[in-house]
Amino acid sequence: MLKLIKTTSRKAGLPPGSPVFIGEKVTEKFGLDMVDYDAENISLSTPVRLDEFRLLKQTPSNTWISAHGLHEAEAVNRFCLGFGLHPLTIEDILHTGQRPKIDHYDDYLFLVINLIHYDDTTREMSMEQISFVLGPSYLISFHEKNDDIFDDVLARLQTNKGRIRKMGVDYLLYSLLDRVVDNFFSVLEKIGEEVEDLEEELIADPSPETLQSIHTLKREMILLRKSVWPLREVISGLQRDETVFMGEAIRVYLKDLYDHTIQVLDTVETFRDIISGMIDIYLSSVSNRMNEVMKVLTIFAVIFIPLTFIAGLYGMNFNTSQSPFNMPELNWYFGYPFALSLMAATTLSMLIYFKKKKWF
């Protein structure tokens, strides 16, 4: 089951800015990967020594540091302090239940976004928080776990494809955000296939498991909307940003990214409407199946009512010797075959009538 709200009980009572990790421990060790690049050269190093952090801020080249394993709060805090990050920034990095947002500081921009993972095998979704710290010539990304979501961007840096090496770290930030938005499209495509399968199942053979699947999809749409809606505000905030961290040349790319985010949000809203309608379809399908069962039972009951009447009538056993009106049929030579024929004719005539009425 999806957990939409992460607990904050471990931080209750602590002062603001306390470096306490809140979230699921998804990796065992805090790790760092660094990419230092410019238009001509690029170098990768793993791991980065803690004593190099302050020197990196003064290098003329662009630097991207990827940090993962946030549950080691002490190591994360030491790393962040090496870059002079504000205690509230460190707190937000470690609290992985943050709403996507953008904060402005004197020396850097701080962003929080949510990344959605979709398991093709179990068809389950999970959410990971990714935080970014954007400085004049460096970008730091903080991940809950060491995943491959940004491998495509790293490959573009290594192969020098496009303009990514020729532009600053603001364009690198755009590229990473664009990869996150593309991931939303991939997730929605898979959810679309799941929705189509459920629609076919709803019409053909709905079951209680179908209703459970609809409920799960509905919760997933809530999770997606919770991630995408504030992301739109983050990208809009970057477009309007007038600090030195976001260059004028990057705004046209951010506008395009904003449009993609709106498209994702529209798709999420469409799926929400479809899934909400699925519940009505499910209830209608179950009701129709119940009506079919009741119709069959009613037809059988209606057929047996006259048969029961005939059997009951001739089962009263009046003494025919006392009166000629006391069921003379009981003394007929073909009385029993006559009664059976009467029952058969009654049944057949009723079936023909039901068929003409298209009741079955």
Q: Could you state, in chain order, the average pLDDT of each consecutive group of 10 residues for the chain (360 residues)?
A: 49 62 70 89 76 61 90 89 90 90 93 92 88 93 89 92 90 96 94 90 84 89 91 91 84 94 94 89 84 87 90 79 76 83 91 84
Q: Give CA–CA dist 63/96, Å, rounded.
A: 24
- Cα distances (angstroms) measured from residue 105 to each of 82, 83, 221, 290: 16, 13, 33, 63
**pLDDT, position 162:** 82
* pLDDT score for 242: 76
Q: Which residue pairs, CB below 8 angstroms and at least 24 apart, start in 46-52?
A: 50/78, 50/79, 50/82, 51/82
Identify the pLDDT of residue 245: 86
Q: Cα separation of 202 and 277, whole Å?
A: 11
Complete edge-to-edge strand list for the sheet that includes strand 138-143: 42-45, 31-37, 62-68, 138-143, 124-134, 109-119, 101-104
**Rg of the chain over all Cα atoms, to the nearest angstrom:** 35
What pLDDT shows up at residue 8?
47
Architecture of domain 9-285: 2-Layer Sandwich (3.30)
Could you give the CA distance from residue 238 to residue 255 in angstroms, rounded to a whole number? 10
- Give the single-character DSSP code of 286: H
How many other C-beta atoms can be found within 10 angstroms of the C-beta atom of residue 132?
22
Strands 138-143 and 62-68: parallel
Smallest Cα–Cα separation from 336: which of 301, 310, 318? 310
Q: What's the pLDDT score for residue 13?
A: 54
Other Cβ atoms less than 10 A from the Cβ of 34: the count is 21
pLDDT of residue 10: 55
CA distance 32 to 49: 9
Give the 3-state secondary structure of residue 262: helix
